[in-house]
Each structure stands twice: as structure tokens, then as C-alpha cells.
């Protein structure tokens, strides 16, 4: 069968006259299956009005080809027409001075260098880009070998950016780099503390310097007015001790000498250790003399024996030091863990996913089924299902964390990811070993007194009265099974209750004094007045201030009405404060009646029978009339 001849393209029409720049030439790229085979050219049409450029026209990619050396009027031969396809040709007047745009992979059936990418982008009649791409773009089998080589040489490579593929080694490298954040943060904090520290001002600006004649060189022990100083370096493994004598110059003063004392100078009535807990620290009393070290070691051994009798397995002093260092390092890493996960961007791997993975893989002796279910419910994923690559990402992160923070660390700072995740607030509250004992700072607001104590709990951060630390083992459990520190006794709620025990004849007295209206639209003048609509809305912080001040100022020595005080502090109208108080439905507990002081019952008198009983003769001499003295 003879091959079909290639139909020559129709002759190009004469160049169209110049048109105003506001008119846009539109090339019709739509395919008409019913078109005649002889009518292969679609002439350019003039658009009736300017249209915005269309950004989506075809799927072809174009690159700029400079063919200055090729003839300007040489047309490109169209491809062979296959059965079932229609011919499509577009022509425009030749523009020899302009470069042409050609597709990188496929060549359009255009005449010469007349295809303009901007005109094609502005065409608005494209309706079938995929079909035009298949019919108007010939395959590579119709190109000449020279054209294919030329296109490969000039065509740029287009690649879709791929997501980074993580493995354990890359995560180890990233975590090793992120470890520098801990050192940088510590350096910034230390430099900030040093820079923000103000120099101590000299209390004596004038006068004789009493220390100018003193030298730092030690002297002999036989001289008078010398002071013995003992030196010991604790950082070195071997104790480097020495004793030197220095010259002492006594200073004459008119102040009385401070009496010497060895123990705490404040009498403390209570010294209660938290029950069912082991001693996690080594108590430090003072700098001990050489003769006192043996007694100190015996005392520490007695404390360990007490722990053994209570059923605990006490650790050695060296092990306690290692546990303290590890816990501090794990607490520091927990501050950076979430930020590191955001920077690595492992698919489906975040802090909640790590906690769920830890809870699912935890052994039975480390977590109870109730604790496991509570942790999983607290960290339930947002989506209905976890992505399949999440478990693989979590396993890689755990392995990388183990290599960086356990294998490559010293024995004193080796931590596991589980140690860091257990410090999360949600996990720590669930894994609490003593859930029956409530924390005093997290007690429920059972009434207004408890709410005020919870909101004004700033005093609870004061140091312990025994060891002067903020978190220690000293404390007690009250009747509600809440742990209370010994920072302030008694409780604020108990103080407020006792203050409201007033006689009933003063029940109508506001705050212990006669009510005087304030100058801020006081509610005493007109309670039923409509509050000004221009008042700003109330915030939760203002509600806390209002509740706390009304309860604490009520029945106190303050001579102003509590609502007037709140109005002045919050810069509001007094009526607005009163109406908001009524709207919230806040009610103070009823006042407790003052009970009379009970009469002390004596053992030698029955106040019901009105008779002397027991050894009353040894308690009084009223029956011995011989010893009575009568004064006239």
C-alpha cells in the first residue's frame, strides 16, 4: 500500500494591517471534528474587546530558541495526519526580528516562528487542553534526529521538589546539631544574668579603709591576732586540705555582739515529712569539723535505715547524685523537644505521637491499664487514623535519640526518651503514684473562701520555713487530704472564716462601718438604675479581682464598702460592679455565730450536781476555817 502524500499547508495570507494596541489577536485552538480536510487553516480572529490574559491554556512548556541563523520565512512541515484526526494550523505574519518560543518536548504545528507564547496565554477559546495537547503535539517519532538532539541540548530539566527522605543517621545528625541549642540557651541566660546584675553600692562612701594594710599572704601561727582558715576543694577526687593563718585586725564597734547559735534560730513547731516517700536528697547542715564527720555519717545511715524499715530500697549517695543530674538534664531537654520535632518535620511524628507510642509499648509493670487508657485518651490524634508512616518515623526518632543522648553521653547524663516524655504535665498527672492525695495548689473551689485562697495563692511560693526551699518534702496533710506546705500557717480560708464570726447585732453594718456612698455612681444611691451601656465588657481577670477583693475586704478593718473598692481599682462604675456581682450569683457563706467560751471543767467539782467530788480537799482550803484570815 502506497503511503499517503503529505498535504502541503495552505499559503499564508497577507500581513494584516496594523491595529490599535488595545485589540488582542486570539488564535482559535479549538478542534472541530466536522471541519473539512481541505480547510486546515484557522485564520486569526479579532476579539471584540480586550480580555485579561489567561494563565491556563495548554500543558506545553516553552523555551526561548534563538534561530537568527535560520531563514526567516521557512515554514515547519506539519506532521503526518492519522486517521480520525483533523489538521490544525495557525498562521500569523512573520516577525523576523523576534525570537520564537517552541515547546520543549513537543512541537506545535505553527508556521515559521509565528507562535507567540504571550498570545497563546491570552487565548480564551481553549476548551480541551488535553485533547489539543494530544493532537497538536506530535510524538518524538516524527521528529528528525538532529531536532531531538538539539532539543535535549537546550531544554532545561524540570523536576518536582521531593520531600526529604529521613533515616536514622540524618536524624542523629540533626539532633547532634540541635544539642547546641541547650548550650546556647544556657550561655544567653548566664550572660543576661551577669549583665542585669547591678553592682553593690558601697554603704560607707567616706572614711578610712580598714583593709588597706591587710595582705593576702599567710603568716605564722605563733603571732597574735591571727585567724586560722581551713581550705578544701570539693571538685577534685582527692581531698586537698590545708590550713593557713592570716593576720586579723579587730574592728571596734558600738553594736552588741550577735549571740552564737548552731541550729535554726526560729522555733518551728511542726517538722513533718511527707509520708510514704523516700528521702531523695542528702541533708546539708553546715560545714562540719573533722571530729563531726563520723557523727554526720552515722546520722545519714540512720536515715537510710528508716527508709528500709518503711519498705523502701534507699540509694547510695553517689547514685543519688547521678539521679539528680539525670533528672535535671531530662528536664532541660524536655523544654527543647517539641521545637526540635517541629524543625525536623518527620511525617506524623510529634510529641503526642511519641507519648502514645510510649504508652502502647510500656511494660505491664511500669504502667497500669487505667493509666494507659487515660494517656491514650488525653493524646488522641486529631485525624481518625494515624498515617502509616508515623510509626516508622517514631521508631527512627527513638533510635536516633537513644544514640545521641544515651550512647554518646557520659554515665551521669544518660537519659532515655521515656524519661523526657514522663515530665509532660498531662503524663505526670496521670502517672502520679499517690492519686488520693490532692495538691493544695490545685484544690477545687468548693466555696468562695477556697476560691480566694486558690486565686490569691501567691503566698504559697514562699520558701519553706524549715529548709527555705520552694519544693521540699516538708508539709502536712489536712482534713481534706490535701498537701499543704509549711510556708504560711494558718491557711487563708480559715482566717477568712474566723473573721466573719461577728455578733448578730452588727449584721446590718456593711464591712463593720456605716455605708457611705462613693463618687463612682454608687450602688447605695440607686440599685435599680440602668447601668451605662458604654461600660466595657468584663474579663475573667476582672472577675477574679472582684471576687477576691470582696471576700477579703468584707468584715475587715477597711472602712470602705468592698464594691466601692473594686470600682476604684478596676476604674468602673460602682453600679456596674454590683450588677455584675449579682449576675454571677456570687454568695458568701453564711456567718457563723460566735460561740461563748466554754467554762473549763474541773475534776473535783460536779457542776450538774453542785457537789464536790474526788480529791477536792487537796484542791482548795475553803473548808479549813482555822486558816481563814478575816480583814476588818
CB atoms within 10 A of CB 220: 8
Q: How confident is the model at residue 495 (pLDDT cuts 50, 70, 90)?
A: confident
Give the number of other Cβ atoms within 10 Å of residue 579's Cβ: 17
The average pLDDT across 456-468 equals 62
CB contact at 8 A, 563 and 574: yes
Say whether the peptide bond before residue 478 is cis (omega within 30 degrees of 0). no
Helix, coil or strand: residue 582: helix
Q: Mean pLDDT across the stretch 90-97?
A: 43
How far does the chain reach from its first CA to its final CA, in angstroms?
166
- Asked whether the beta carbons of 344 and 171 are under 8 A apart, the reply is yes
403-432 average pLDDT score: 85
381-408 average pLDDT score = 83
Q: What is the pLDDT of residue 228?
A: 87
For residues 426 and 119, the model is more confident at: 426
* pLDDT at residue 100 tops 90: no
* pLDDT per residue as tens digits for the range 509-523: 445 545 678 888 888
Over residues 322-341, the mean pLDDT reads 90
Nearest residue to 419 via CA among 361, 367, 342, 358 = 358
Kindly give the pairing relationship between strand 611-612 and strand 605-606.
antiparallel
Q: Is the dihedral of CA 607, 613, 615, 619 positive or negative?
A: positive
Band (423; pLDDT cuts 50, 70, 90)? confident
CB 131 within 8 A of CB 162: no
In the numeric block, which cell numbers belong to residue 418? 521515656
Do the beta carbons of residue 20 and residue 88 sit within 8 Å?
A: no
Cell 531563514 locates to 71
Q: What's the predicted TM-score (pTM) here?
A: 0.43
Statement: residue 145 has pLDDT above 60: no
Distance, C-alpha 493 to centroid of its chain: 32
Give Cβ neighbours of residue 146 (< 8 Å, ≥ 6 apart): none
> Which residues contact residue 55 at a Cβ distance below 8 angstroms, ignoring those fewer than 6 apart?
121
For residue 168, give every residue at least 6 positions away whose Cβ sits within 8 Å of its Cβ, in sequence order, or none: 396, 399, 400, 403
Q: What is the pLDDT of residues 235-258, one digit of tens each?
A: 666 667 788 888 887 777 777 766
Give me the residues paired with residue 245 across strands.
219, 228
Q: Residue 387 corresponds to which cell in the numbers above?
A: 498515617
In our burial notation (b when 16+ CB lie closer than 10 A, e otherwise), range 61-92 reads ebeebeeeeeeeeebbebbebeeeeebbbbbb
- Look at residue 187 and tell me whether its pLDDT is greater than 90: yes
DSSP result, 378-439: HT--SSSS--THHHHHHHHHHHHHHIIIIITS-GGG---HHHHHTTSHHHHHHS-S-TTSEE
Amino acid at each position: 500500500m502506497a503511503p499517503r502524500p503529505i498535504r502541503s499547508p495552505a499559503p499564508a495570507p497577507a500581513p494584516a494591517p496594523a491595529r490599535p494596541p488595545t485589540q488582542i489577536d486570539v488564535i482559535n485552538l479549538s478542534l472541530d471534528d466536522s471541519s473539512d480536510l481541505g480547510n486546515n487553516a484557522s485564520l486569526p480572529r479579532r476579539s471584540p474587546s480586550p480580555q485579561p490574559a489567561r494563565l491556563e491554556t495548554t500543558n506545553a512548556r516553552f523555551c526561548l530558541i534563538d534561530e537568527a541563523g535560520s531563514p526567516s520565512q521557512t515554514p515547519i512541515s506539519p506532521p503526518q495526519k492519522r486517521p480520525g484526526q483533523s489538521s490544525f494550523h495557525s498562521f500569523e505574519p512573520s516577525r523576523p526580528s523576534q525570537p520564537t518560543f517552541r515547546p520543549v518536548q513537543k512541537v506545535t504545528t505553527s508556521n515559521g516562528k509565528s507562535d507567540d507564547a504571550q498570545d497563546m496565554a491570552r487565548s480564551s477559546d481553549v476548551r480541551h487542553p488535553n485533547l489539543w495537547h494530544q493532537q497538536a503535539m506530535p510524538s518524538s517519532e516524527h521528529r528528525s534526529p538532529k531536532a531531538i538532539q538539539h532539543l535535549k541540548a537546550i531544554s532545561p530539566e524540570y523536576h518536582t521538589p521531593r520531600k526529604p527522605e529521613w533515616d536514622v543517621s540524618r536524624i542523629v545528625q540533626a539532633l547532634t546539631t540541635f544539642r547546641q541549642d541547650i548550650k546556647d540557651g544556657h550561655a544567653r541566660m548566664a550572660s543576661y544574668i551577669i549583665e542585669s546584675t547591678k553592682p553593690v553600692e558601697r554603704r560607707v562612701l567616706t572614711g578610712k579603709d580598714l583593709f588597706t594594710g591587710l595582705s593576702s599572704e599567710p603568716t605564722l601561727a605563733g603571732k597574735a591576732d591571727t585567724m586560722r582558715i581551713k581550705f578544701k576543694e570539693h571538685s577534685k577526687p582527692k581531698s586537698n586540705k590545708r590550713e593557713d593563718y592570716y593576720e586579723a585586725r579587730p574592728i571596734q564597734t558600738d553594736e552588741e555582739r550577735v549571740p552564737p547559735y548552731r541550729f535554726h534560730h526560729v522555733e518551728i513547731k511542726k517538722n513533718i515529712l511527707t509520708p510514704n516517700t523516700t528521702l531523695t536528697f542528702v541533708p546539708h547542715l553546715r560545714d562540719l569539723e573533722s571530729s563531726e564527720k563520723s557523727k554526720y555519717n552515722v546520722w545519714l545511715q540512720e536515715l537510710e535505715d528508716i527508709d528500709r524499715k518503711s519498705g523502701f530500697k534507699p540509694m547510695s549517695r553517689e547514685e543519688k547524685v547521678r539521679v539528680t543530674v539525670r533528672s535535671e538534664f531530662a528536664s532541660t531537654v524536655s523544654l527543647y523537644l517539641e521545637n526540635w520535632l517541629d524543625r525536623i518535620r518527620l511525617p506524623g511524628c510529634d510529641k503526642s505521637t511519641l507519648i502514645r507510642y510510649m504508652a502502647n509499648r510500656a511494660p505491664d509493670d511500669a504502667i497500669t491499664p487505667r493509666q494507659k487508657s487515660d494517656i491514650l485518651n488525653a493524646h488522641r490524634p486529631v485525624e481518625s487514623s494515624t498515617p502509616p508512616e508515623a510509626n516508622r518515623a517514631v521508631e527512627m526518632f527513638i533510635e536516633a535519640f537513644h544514640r545521641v543522648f544515651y550512647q554518646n553521653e557520659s554515665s551521669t547524663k544518660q537519659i532515655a526518651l521515656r524519661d523526657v516524655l514522663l515530665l509532660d504535665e498531662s503524663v505526670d498527672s496521670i502517672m502520679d503514684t499517690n492519686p488520693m492525695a490532692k495538691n493544695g495548689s490545685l484544690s477545687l473551689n468548693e466555696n468562695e473562701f477556697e476560691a480566694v485562697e486558690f486565686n490569691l495563692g501567691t503566698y504559697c511560693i514562699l520558701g519553706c520555713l524549715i529548709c527555705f526551699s520552694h519544693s521540699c518534702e516538708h508539709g502536712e496533710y489536712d482534713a481534706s487530704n490535701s498537701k499543704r506546705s509549711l510556708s504560711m500557717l494558718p491557711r487563708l480560708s480559715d482566717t477568712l472564716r474566723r473573721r466573719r464570726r461577728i455578733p448578730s447585732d452588727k449584721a446590718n453594718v456593711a464591712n463593720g462601718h456605716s455605708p457611705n456612698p462613693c463618687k463612682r455612681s454608687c450602688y447605695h444611691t440607686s440599685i435599680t438604675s440602668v447601668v451605662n451601656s458604654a461600660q466595657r465588657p468584663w474579663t475573667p481577670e476582672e472577675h477574679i479581682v472582684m471576687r477576691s477583693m470582696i471576700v477579703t475586704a468584707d468584715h475587715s478593718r477597711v472602712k470602705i464598702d468592698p464594691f466601692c473598692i473594686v470600682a476604684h481599682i478596676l476604674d468602673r462604675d460602682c453600679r456596674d460592679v454590683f450588677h455584675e456581682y449579682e449576675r454571677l450569683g456570687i454568695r458568701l457563706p453564711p456567718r457563723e455565730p460566735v460561740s461563748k467560751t466554754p467554762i473549763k471543767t474541773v475534776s473535783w467539782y460536779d457542776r450538774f450536781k453542785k457537789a464536790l467530788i474526788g480529791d477536792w480537799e487537796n484542791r482548795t482550803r475553803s473548808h479549813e476555817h482555822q486558816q481563814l484570815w478575816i480583814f476588818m
